[in-house]
Chain A
Amino acid sequence: MKQWFISQSVDHPKRSIIITVLITLLMGSGLQHFVVEDDFMKMLPQDIESMVALNELKDEFGSTDLMFLGFGKRGVDVLNAKSLATLWDLSHELEDIEMVDEIMCISTSDKMESIDGFLEVSALQEYRDLDEEEIDALRSYLNDNSKIKTRNLGEKGDYFNVIIRPVVDAKNDVLVGEMERVVATHLGDYDVHWGGQAYLTGALPALIRNDVMGLMRTGLIGMLLILLFSLRNISAVGTILATIILSMAFMMGFNGWMIYLTGSDKFLFGVLNTSMPIILLTIANSYGVHVITKFFRKMRTNKDPKAAVEASLNSLSLPIFLTALTTVAAFLCMVFAPLEPLIGYGFSISAGILWAWILSTIFLPSVLVLKKWNPDAAAVSHPSHFERFVIAFGEHVIKRPKTVLISGAIVVIIGIFGIFQLNIEVNMKAFFKPDNPIRQSLEFMDSEMTGSMDLQLLINADLKDPEVLTQIGSIQEFMEKHKSVTLSISIADVIKQMHRMVNDDDPAFETIPDSRDKVNNLFTMYSMSGDPDDFSSLVDYEYEKGLATSMMRSISTSEIVVLVDEIEVFLQQDEYKDLNITITGLLIVFRDLVALIIRSSFISIFASIIIIALIAAYFFKHWLWGLLAVVPLSAAVILNFGLMGIFGVDLNHVTALLSAIIIGVGVDFAIHYISQFRTHLHNHGLDGNLSRETMQDVGFPVILDAASNMAFGALLFSMFIPMIHMGGLMVFAMVSTSTATLTLLAILLELSKKHLARIEGIAVPE
């Protein structure tokens, strides 16, 4: 098999290049079916408890994923004729958007009044253009109804609050785009602020993807420059680049074909897939770097490209195949991920990795064979300064085994300690830097409006029972005592208001009536003059399920956990036990979802490590090799997450996915090192400088591979904090995996070389 591969590039280089390029083009043509999907809601698992509850809620009450829009002018009373006319135009145009179910603002709300003995339900703003008298009446009504005022106006009265309820199954990304277009036509003269989890899920994916893709291009250029500096040969760098591009085209095309053939949403390219090209890039780069550096080393002795390629492939075929196999195994563990897109992610990147392997063992060597190399060129004949530095570093490491081992152990222990300090945080506000306009908008909505989050309590009880309604009122009072809750709304509020109206607007009657018959009468009375849909977001058709919605300022994930715990403790009191209340909302789904992603990430880390160990053990023919192969990446994983804990880098779904990169790349370094170590062991036995020679062979490509991948530190310049963390961690991951391989693994092999020699059946001198 190995010889077949070698023969393809050595004996038929042109044919091999043409075939691999044609296959890539064929697969790449799947790009025509490639679909970018920015609808974050589509990615959520439908079977987790909180999502099931949220879907039940949506079936009954429509979408509860609210978006918030605040607009006005700082210091200018917003209740003026011009602003009200603008609000009227804006709200009516927003209502016309198909994906909008309801707009809640002054222009679209009703008021309930008792006028000269009349109960009147009418529009809060009856016309577009109001005169001063009508504006004063409106102001007076709002002042008398504090909850309605809080919901519709900013704290200082200089901003309108517009709440947008999308239809169920709205594509938030498309909706956000349409709303922003409408807002741009009406609110050019105003300060505009957006908020709400639904808004963020709509706005963020495209922003993140565009940001990351832009930085990825920068990273790729940086990578090529580092390669050029180290390899000192444009053709060599160009060959690696070609391998990367062809792998990428194959993967994206595969993704497209899978959509076409399966019709499955699993293969839609969403925000979670953003890291896919970066990971494949690093892996394909890794394969290319190892082949090229080995080729140059062989050229120094052989001078003949064909012979050098043959010798390189003889040495690298197994390790590259193994690295591809183990990395694919690691990514296929994503099949068990809780999010559907991660399943498609696993399959597509695996296809890309396997093609990168084919390209680096057939296409790339074929190019090397065809290219006319000057054996006397500096790039070929002499190691670079960088290479010499790495060799010197290796020498130092091997001379101080105990020091290196103890230092490594200490660092890993520190990492383990740090893991316990990890903080899980998914508050989307924390995704942005403090000076980012989106974050500033969210902070504005938090400080001056009703906030940018919402939490729902789903109450299953007889909602015409005065006792139940009174209890709901008490729960709302409890909620409103929490510092982050700005407003709580439920059917109990409407009942109280109707009760007041039916009693000649006497504030003393703004209470829940004392009998069920009275509650019934109030509902009937309302149906005579109000819209039945007015209650549809508060109570179901049979008055058996009610919704108490709390508008909230942004709070952290840990604060959400505390708040939910507090609510649960409160609801455990005897008087509320019969209400059967579920705490729900997008906020709760995100909390559960991220916990799920993180848990599944850790499960897949362990599963990947075990599978990689088994594969390595099988191909290297002893369990000890398998164990040693996973030492560097295990140490790197511990160290990465540990340092995240120590330095306060939040663990979220983005940073959790980093483990995939660590494993994908970390295992490659170890396998190359072990493979070379075994080759030297078999070729030279324990005589000579086993570790030194292995280090000379593998050290430079490992460090060059890591260093070039570090160019993705460009993510440090992202506008999103998790991406900045990812960029930083990626740099650190490269350092940690390569260092762990060239220190920990190297020393472990050095210290156990006699034992390993016996395993390999090699004579060990006494």
Chain B
Amino acid sequence: MKLTIKTVLIGLLIALPLGIFAETGFELAKAMEDKISPKDMKSNMTMTLTNKQGKTRESTIRSISADDSRKQIIWFLAPADDKGVAFLKIEHADKDDEMRLWLPAFKKVRRISSKKKADSFMGSDLSYEDMTSRELDEYTYEILGEKVVDGIECHILESTPKAGVTRTYKRFITYVSKADLVSILDEAFDTRDKLLKRRVMKFRKDKGYDLPTEIFVENVQKGSNTRLVFSDQEVDTGVKANLFQEKNLKRMPK
């Protein structure tokens, strides 16, 4: 399972030289999957959760990820109530992912698990499934047409889980930028085929990568939303593999 903030973040992408024309839905999806991504990434994220009554909660976190975001470590910087809490996640192809949480008040590291992919990530409108890149072979694809979204020309790509593949969603409609092959807008439909979530993404170019600057996810049925704003992004800084260890949860590196 590719569980990544970044993958999420992006919806994701990049591989083929830009501008290559995709004839079929599968080719378009593959072109997005094959786009290159950074070896590692450091960033600060401000996550604003808004519930249906319009009340908000804001958290700031520091994230470092590597190995195509299969390894990730997060430290909570704010609010004061959460400061010091840290989270480590390492994905494994052949066994359950490792997720560990440092609880400073208890001075304990606790392993956590979520078997339900539909569960919310950090109380947000993003689920663990949303954070996972869609396995190319598990879906069928169809290009439904073209549309201009926020001034960007897009392909309209429909992805539907193949028979036998269990997913929280019945299908997705993704608006893929023709120029950059990135997802600009993604709509997820629940098992009753009713629109459940709408995800809007913004990117910037850096070192040949399309890096996310903002992700806005709206749960249409619940009326809540989550906005993630990225700052201080650095890519390919040579993050060492031994950073992703339990002992590093207790103190954030400078």
Partner-B contacts on A (CB < 8 A)? 59-60, 96, 117-123, 126, 464, 502, 513, 515-518, 520-522, 524-525, 527-533, 540-542
In the complex, which residue of chain A has the Cβ closest to the Cβ of B122?
Answer: A527
What interface size band does chain B fall in? 20 to 34
Nearest chain A CB to B184 CB, angstrom units: 27
State in angstroms the CA–CA spacing of A530 and B51 once bound together.
16
State in angstroms the CA–CA spacing of A96 and B192 once bound together.
9
In the complex, which residue of chain B has the Cβ closest to the Cβ of A541?
Answer: B55
Can you show 23 pairs from A to B with CB atoms below 8 A apart?
A96-B192, A118-B113, A119-B110, A120-B115, A122-B116, A123-B115, A123-B116, A126-B115, A502-B106, A516-B81, A517-B104, A520-B82, A520-B105, A521-B105, A524-B85, A525-B101, A529-B114, A530-B119, A530-B120, A532-B120, A532-B124, A541-B56, A541-B57
Question: Could you say which of B53, B81, B120 contacts A464, with CB atoms under 8 Å apart?
Answer: B81
Given contact pairs A513-B105, A521-B104, A530-B120, a sample of 9 additional A-B residue pairs in the complex whose CB atoms are under 8 Å apart: A122-B115, A515-B105, A516-B81, A521-B105, A525-B101, A527-B120, A529-B114, A530-B119, A532-B124
State in angstroms the CA–CA spacing of A59 and B53 once bound together.
8
Q: Does B75 contact A (CB under 8 A)?
A: no
Question: Could you say which of A502, A518, A542 contacts B55, with CB atoms under 8 Å apart?
Answer: A542
- B114 engages A518 (CB within 8 Å): no
- B51 engages A121 (CB within 8 Å): no
- A518 engages B81 (CB within 8 Å): no
Nearest chain B CB to A539 CB, angstrom units: 12
State in angstroms the CA–CA spacing of A464 and B82 once bound together.
12
Number of A-B contacts (CB under 8 A): 90
> For B108, what are the chain A residues with a Cβ–Cβ distance below 8 Å?
502
Nearest chain B CB to A572 CB, angstrom units: 31
Nearest chain A CB to B114 CB, angstrom units: 4
Nearest chain A CB to B112 CB, angstrom units: 5
State in angstroms the CA–CA spacing of A117 and B246 once bound together.
14
- Beyond A502-B106, A528-B87, A532-B123, whether A520 also contacts B113 by CB under 8 A is no
State in angstroms the CA–CA spacing of A204 and B114 once bound together.
43
- A502 engages B110 (CB within 8 Å): yes
State in angstroms the CA–CA spacing of A119 and B49 once bound together.
24
In the complex, which residue of chain A has the Cβ closest to the Cβ of B54?
Answer: A541
Q: Does B111 contact A (CB under 8 A)?
A: yes
- B114 engages A121 (CB within 8 Å): yes
Q: Does B76 contact A (CB under 8 A)?
A: yes
- B116 engages A521 (CB within 8 Å): no
Q: Which of B73-131 contact A (CB under 8 A)?
A: 76, 81-82, 85, 87, 99, 101, 103-106, 108, 110-116, 119-124
- A524 engages B112 (CB within 8 Å): no
> For B53, what are the chain A residues with a Cβ–Cβ distance below 8 Å?
59-60, 541
- B99 engages A528 (CB within 8 Å): yes
In the complex, which residue of chain B has the Cβ closest to the Cβ of A522?
Answer: B103
State in angstroms the CA–CA spacing of A89 and B182 once bound together.
40
- B101 engages A528 (CB within 8 Å): yes
State in angstroms the CA–CA spacing of A122 and B56 once bound together.
27
> For A123, what are the chain B residues with a Cβ–Cβ distance below 8 Å?
115-116
> For B120, what are the chain A residues with a Cβ–Cβ distance below 8 Å?
527, 530-532
State in angstroms the CA–CA spacing of A517 and B85 once bound together.
10
Nearest chain B CB to A219 CB, angstrom units: 49
- B111 engages A119 (CB within 8 Å): yes
In the complex, which residue of chain B has the Cβ closest to the Cβ of A110?
Answer: B116
> For B55, what are the chain A residues with a Cβ–Cβ distance below 8 Å?
540-542
- Beyond A502-B103, A541-B55, whether A529 also contacts B85 by CB under 8 A is no
- B112 engages A120 (CB within 8 Å): yes
Nearest chain A CB to B12 CB, angstrom units: 23
Find the residue from A119, A513, A521 having the highest chain B CB count within 10 A.
A521
Q: Top 4 A-B pairs ranked by shortest CB distance? A: A517-B105, A527-B123, A532-B123, A521-B103
Nearest chain B CB to A494 CB, angstrom units: 14
State in angstroms the CA–CA spacing of A126 and B105 once bound together.
32
State in angstroms the CA–CA spacing of A79 and B81 once bound together.
41
State in angstroms the CA–CA spacing of A520 and B80 once bound together.
10
Nearest chain A CB to B121 CB, angstrom units: 8
- B113 engages A524 (CB within 8 Å): no
> For A513, what are the chain B residues with a Cβ–Cβ distance below 8 Å?
105
- Beyond A60-B53, A464-B81, whether A529 also contacts B103 by CB under 8 A is no
State in angstroms the CA–CA spacing of A521 and B51 once bound together.
21
- A541 engages B106 (CB within 8 Å): no
> For A119, what are the chain B residues with a Cβ–Cβ distance below 8 Å?
110-113
Nearest chain B CB to A528 CB, angstrom units: 5
Nearest chain B CB to A154 CB, angstrom units: 28
- Beyond A121-B119, A521-B85, A524-B85, whether A529 also contacts B105 by CB under 8 A is no
- B119 engages A529 (CB within 8 Å): yes
In the complex, which residue of chain B has the Cβ closest to the Cβ of A115?
Answer: B113
State in angstroms the CA–CA spacing of A517 and B103 once bound together.
9
- B112 engages A118 (CB within 8 Å): yes
Nearest chain A CB to B164 CB, angstrom units: 16
Question: Could you say which of A118, A517, A531, A540 contacts B111, with CB atoms under 8 Å apart?
Answer: A118
> For A533, what are the chain B residues with a Cβ–Cβ distance below 8 Å?
222
Nearest chain B CB to A515 CB, angstrom units: 6
> For B99, what are the chain A residues with a Cβ–Cβ distance below 8 Å?
528-529
Question: Could you say which of B113, B121, B124, B222 contacts A120, with CB atoms under 8 Å apart?
Answer: B113
Find the residue from A120, A531, A532, A533 having the highest chain B CB count within 10 A.
A532
In the complex, which residue of chain B has the Cβ closest to the Cβ of A60?
Answer: B53
> For A542, what are the chain B residues with a Cβ–Cβ distance below 8 Å?
55, 57
- Beyond A119-B113, A531-B119, whether A541 also contacts B85 by CB under 8 A is no
State in angstroms the CA–CA spacing of A531 and B85 once bound together.
19
Nearest chain B CB to A79 CB, angstrom units: 21
State in angstroms the CA–CA spacing of A627 and B120 once bound together.
73
> For A520, what are the chain B residues with a Cβ–Cβ distance below 8 Å?
81-82, 105
In the complex, which residue of chain B has the Cβ closest to the Cβ of A519?
Answer: B105
> For A541, what are the chain B residues with a Cβ–Cβ distance below 8 Å?
51, 53, 55-57
Nearest chain B CB to A260 CB, angstrom units: 34
In the complex, which residue of chain A has the Cβ closest to the Cβ of B79?
Answer: A520
Q: Which of B22-62 contact A (CB under 8 A)?
A: 49, 51, 53, 55-57
Find the residue from B55, B81, B105 having the highest chain A CB count within 10 A.
B105
- B105 engages A518 (CB within 8 Å): yes
In the complex, which residue of chain A has the Cβ closest to the Cβ of B127?
Answer: A531
State in angstroms the CA–CA spacing of A533 and B110 once bound together.
22
> For A529, what are the chain B residues with a Cβ–Cβ distance below 8 Å?
99, 112-114, 119
Nearest chain A CB to B231 CB, angstrom units: 22
Nearest chain A CB to B87 CB, angstrom units: 7
State in angstroms the CA–CA spacing of A139 and B31 once bound together.
50
> For B51, what are the chain A residues with a Cβ–Cβ distance below 8 Å?
541
Question: Could you say which of B56, B106, B112, B122 contacts A521, with CB atoms under 8 Å apart?
Answer: B106
> For B101, what are the chain A residues with a Cβ–Cβ distance below 8 Å?
524-525, 528
Nearest chain B CB to A325 CB, angstrom units: 52
